[in-house]
Amino acid sequence: MSLTLKAELHEADTMSRNESSPSEGSISPRRGKFPVEDIIYDRIIALIMEKHLRPGQRLNEVKLAAAYDVPRSRARRVLERLKDEEIVTFELNKGAFLSRPSAEEARHVFETRRHLEYAGLSLICERATKGDLDVLREHILAEQRAFSEQRRDANRLAGEFHDLLAQMTKNPILEKLLIGLVRRCVLIQSVYEVETNSLCLTSEHSQIVDAIEAKDAQAAIKVMAQHFDHIVGSLDLREDRERATDVYALPN
């Protein structure tokens, strides 16, 4: 993209505020000891999930600090947090870049996420409340509006459905693992997706919620398996394609 990171952040931030609101199922930003760092982190994650930022793209620490009027040390802490989650890598004397997963890593990530989501669904079917179900259904309505209007935040909302599921396991360790894997899967899709449109179908999300409401873990897992098959089926994970599309490799 020709825009600087600073321009991307402000453009996407304005667009997201116009297109979505808490009533449309967006997950509220977490607030910790340094709220501004959570804000920067959440905005970068949103840009990744909306595919404004792509694997291999540099995250300039100086521009990031200037965009949010914070010391570089705070911007650095955000980048370190993303590094810990394997979303960002640091290159000596070059800076921070969005991770570019290999085809082999992509297969391992999706395999791991698949089995953890199955385990999560079993817990959700036992623990979900009526309030949880209401949140999921409201979020699906927001997804459907975003896709029907062809909005740029549709991909983010589709991914956040899985974030909500992770939260509803009511197991903070599993939640953290799942949300991290969702982020990494978005990067993988950015590299290997054959079709440019999101295949995270809202109809399948609705079927998963129906199964959760019925407390039918096996039915929920069956739909989730089909869901993953559709997503993985949209990817070309051949090693030769990985090499052919690696724009960062030097020519022979």
Q: Which residues does the chain have with pLDDT short of 50?
A: 1-4, 8, 12-13, 15-32, 243-252
Q: CB atoms < 10 A from the CB of 4, how many?
A: 12
Q: CB atoms < 10 A from the CB of 15, how many?
A: 15
Q: Are residues 227 and 133 in the same domain?
A: yes
Q: Are residues 131 and 165 in the same domain?
A: yes
Q: Are residues 76 and 115 in the same domain?
A: no
**pLDDT at residue 227, rounded to an integer:** 93
Give every CB contact of residue 203 below 8 A, 6+ residues apart in sequence: none
List strands edge to edge, sheet with 58-59: 58-59, 95-98, 88-91
Gap between the terminal Cα atoms of the chain: 26
**pLDDT at residue 7, rounded to an integer:** 53
**pLDDT at residue 197, rounded to an integer:** 52
C-alpha–C-alpha distance, residues 168 and 171, integer Å: 8
**pLDDT at residue 150, rounded to an integer:** 84
C-alpha–C-alpha distance, residues 215 and 209, integer Å: 10
**pLDDT at residue 93, rounded to an integer:** 85
Contact assessment for residue 248 and residue 100, using Cβ atoms and an 8 Å cutoff: yes
C-alpha–C-alpha distance, residues 26 and 88, integer Å: 24
Contact assessment for residue 150 and residue 156, using Cβ atoms and an 8 Å cutoff: no
151 domain residue, yes or no: yes
Q: Are residues 119 and 229 in the same domain?
A: yes
Q: Are residues 50 and 164 in the same domain?
A: no
Q: Are residues 126 and 83 in the same domain?
A: no
What is the domain range of residue 90? 5-98
228 domain residue, yes or no: yes
C-alpha–C-alpha distance, residues 209 and 98, integer Å: 33
**pLDDT at residue 48, rounded to an integer:** 87
Q: Are residues 83 and 151 in the same domain?
A: no
**pLDDT at residue 246, rounded to an integer:** 44
C-alpha–C-alpha distance, residues 38 and 30, integer Å: 6
Q: Model confidence over 24-42: pLDDT tens digits?
A: 444 433 444 558 899 999 8
Q: Of 70, 98, 126, which marks where a domain is finished?
A: 98
98 φ, ψ to 5°?
-65, 135
pTM: 0.75
* CATH code (residue 160): 1.20.120.530
**pLDDT at residue 34, rounded to an integer:** 56
Q: Model confidence over 202-246: pLDDT tens digits?
A: 899 999 999 999 999 999 999 999 999 998 988 888 765 554 444
